[in-house]
Amino acid sequence: MEYTYEDLAKMIDHSLLIPTMTVDDLEAGIDLALAYDVASVCIMPYYLKRCAERLAGSNVKASTTIGFPHGGHTTASKRTEAEQALADGCQELDMVVNISQVLTGNWDYVRQDIQAVIEVAHTAGQKVKVIFENCYLNDDQKIRLCEVCSELRADWVKTSTGYGSGGATIEDLQLMRRHAADHVQVKAAGGVRDLDALVAVRALGVSRCGASRTSAILDPCREQLGLPAIQSSKASTNGGY
C-alpha cells in the first residue's frame, strides 16, 4: 500500500498521559508532536490549556481525556470535564464509557452518558472519540456500543485507554469497522508500536492511533520515503499507550 508521510503522521495522537510525567516531560512531548507534525497531542487535562496555547497556529490538534481511565465518573462530572476541556482549547475529547454499566447491560444509562459528552462537544464544533476498553467486553457488547455511537454520531470509536489489560487487536478493529457506521471513524490505542503495525491497521480502515512511540514509528517512514530525519533531542519521549 502506498502512503505519504502525512498519511501516517496524521494518524497519530501522541499520548502524554502517564501520571508520573513532569512538566518538563509534557513540554518535551509537545515539542516532539510538533516536530513530527502528528494529528494531535492527547494530554492530561490539567495541562491542556498550556498545550493548546503551544499548538496554536500549527496543524496539530489539542486533545484530552474525559472520565479517564475507568469511565466510572458520573455523567454530570463527565459533562463538566468536557465543558472545561473545551474552554481550555480542546479540539478532540477522548471519553471512556461507563464500563460497569456496559457490563450490567444498562444501555439507557450508557447511551445518555455518551450523549452528554457528544452534545457538549458538537455544540462547540469539536469532536469526540468514545473509548470502549475492549479487553473487558464481549463481542456483543462491543457491537452494541458501535451501534449506540453510530446513532449518536460519535466521531470515533476507540478500542482502549491503554491502561486496561489489553490494547487494540486486529480482531477488535475489524469488528468495530464492520459494525460502526461509515460516518464513525475507528481509533486504535495500545499495541501499535512500529511502522508495520501502523500500516497494517490503516489497511483495516483505522484512521487514528494513540501512540507514545511516535519517533520509533515515524522515523523509519521518513527514511523509507527519503525524507530528512527529525533532529530533536526530545525524540524518545514516551508518554502512554
Domains of the chain: 5-224 (3.20.20.70)
* SS3 (DSSP) at 64: strand
| Residue type present at position 185 | Q
pLDDT at 237: 54
* Catalytic site residue from 49, 61, 127, 158: 158
What is the model's pLDDT at position 164?
86
- Concerning whether 234 is annotated as a catalytic residue, the answer is no
User: What gap in Å lies between CA 171 and CA 142, rounded to an integer?
Assistant: 12
First and final CA of the chain: distance in angstroms?
25
Active-site position among 13, 88, 94, 113: 94
CA distance 26 to 15: 10
Told to judge if 88 belongs to the known catalytic residues of this protein, a careful annotator would answer no
pLDDT of amino acid 236: 47
Confidence of residue 238 (pLDDT cuts 50, 70, 90): low
Grid cell 459494525 is found at: 179
CA dihedral 23, 25, 27, 29 (to 10 degrees): -150
d(CA 215, CA 236) in angstroms, rounded, equals: 7
- 79-131 pLDDT, tens per residue? 999 999 999 999 999 999 999 999 999 999 999 999 999 999 999 999 999 99
Active site residue 158: yes
- Comparing 135 with 163, the larger pLDDT belongs to 135
Candidate list 49, 78, 187, 234, residue with the active-site label:
187
Cα separation, 41 vs 102, whole angstroms = 28
